[in-house]
Structure 1
Amino acid sequence: MLDNMPRGTIVIEEIEIGMKRHVWKEVTDRDIELFAEVSTDRNPVHLDEDYAQETIFAGRVAHGMLTAGLISAVIGEQLPGHGSIYMGQSLRFLGPVRPGDHVKAEVEVIDVDYPKRRVTLSTTAYVNEKPVLQGEATVLAPSAKLD
C-alpha cells in the first residue's frame, strides 16, 4: 500500500493554504527495532510482547517519535520538501501504532508568511482512517529567489 506523493521541493512562492501531501508506511518489527537502536529508547513496551501485554496497550506499540518521524519525512521530502528547515512541532499522541499497521502521515498548509518564508502545517497521522497523532509544525520554506 504505497501511494506516496512525488518528492522534491515546493518553493514558498508556490505554496498555498490548503495544500496537502502525505506518505504511507507499514510499520514493521524491523522499523521498531532500528528506531530503538538509533534512539537508544529500549522501553520494553516497544520490544517485549510479554511485557507489553501487561500494559494499557495490551501488546507492543511503535515509538511515538517513529510515527512523528513520518511527518518529518513528508515535510522534508514533499511539502515544502528539499531545503525545508524545521522550526518547531507540537504533537499529541491519540492512539497506538502497532507492528503491521499502515500509517498515513499527512501535512496540510494552514498559514503562510511569505516575507518570512514561514509555513504553518497541520500534521496528522492515521491508522485505519483514525487519527493517532495530531500536531502543528512551523517550517522555513526554500525560495525560488536567490538571497
Structure 2
Amino acid sequence: MTLYFEDLEIGQYAEFGKTITDADVLMFAAVSGDTNPMHLNAEYAEATPFKSRIAHGMLTASFVSTILGTRLPGEGTIFLSNSCKFKAPVRIGDTVNTRCTVTTLDPVKKRVTLKTECRVKDTVVLEGESLVIAPSRG
C-alpha cells in the first residue's frame, strides 16, 4: 500500500502491532551482530536491574520502519532520519503497539515529519520523531 504525499494530512496515523518472541530476539541478534547477554543469556539478565532478558531497543525501533515503508506513507518512502528515546524495556512475550502520526508536511520537498511511539499496554517504551520523503504523484 502506498499513500502519496498528496494524500497525507496532519494528524493522520498508522499502527502496527507485534508480539515479541524468543526467535525474534535471536534472529535480530544474528542479523545485527548485537549479542549483548542482556538479550540472550537469562542467567546474566537476572543479575541486572531488569531481572530478565529484554528485547533489543533497535528491534522495537524497527517497527517504526515497518509502518513508514509499508503503511504510512508506504512503498517508495525514503527514510531520512529518526530519533528515539527508549523509555522502558520490552520483554519476550510483550506485544509492542507502534503508532506513527503525521505532524508536519513540506510540499516543496515532499517531506513528512511523523511522531513515533511504541507502547506495551499503557506503557510508552519508545518515543521519537522520523523524517521521510513520501512518494508523489507529481
Q: The TM-score by the shorter chain falls in which range?
A: over 0.9
Residue equivalent to 1:3: none
Residue equivalent to 1:28: 21
TM-score, normalised to structure 1's length?
0.93
What is the percentage of aligned positions where both structures have the same residue?
A: 45
Structure 2 SS opposite 1:97: coil
Deviations 1:39-62 (A, max 9, x none): 010000000111001111111000
Residue equivalent to 1:39: 32
Does the alignment pair 1:77 with 2:59? no
Pairs aligned (count)? 138
CA distance in structure 2 between the aligned counterparts of 1:122 and 1:73, rounded to whole angstroms: 14
| Structure 2 gap segments, 5+ residues each | none
C-alpha displacement at 1:114, in angstroms? Answer: 1.1
Aligned residue runs from structure 1 range 106-125, under 5 A: 106-125=99-118
CA distance in structure 2 between the aligned counterparts of 1:116 and 1:89, rounded to whole angstroms: 18
| Structure 1 gap segments, 5+ residues each | 1-7
Structure 2 SS opposite 1:91: strand
The AA in structure 1 aligned to 2:102 is V
RMSD: 0.5
The AA in structure 1 aligned to 2:12 is M
Deviations 1:47-82 (A, max 9, x none): 011100111111100000000001110110000000
Q: Please, which of 84, 100, 105 is the counterpart of residue 98 of structure 2?
A: 105
CA distance in structure 2 between the aligned counterparts of 1:63 and 1:132, rounded to whole angstroms: 12
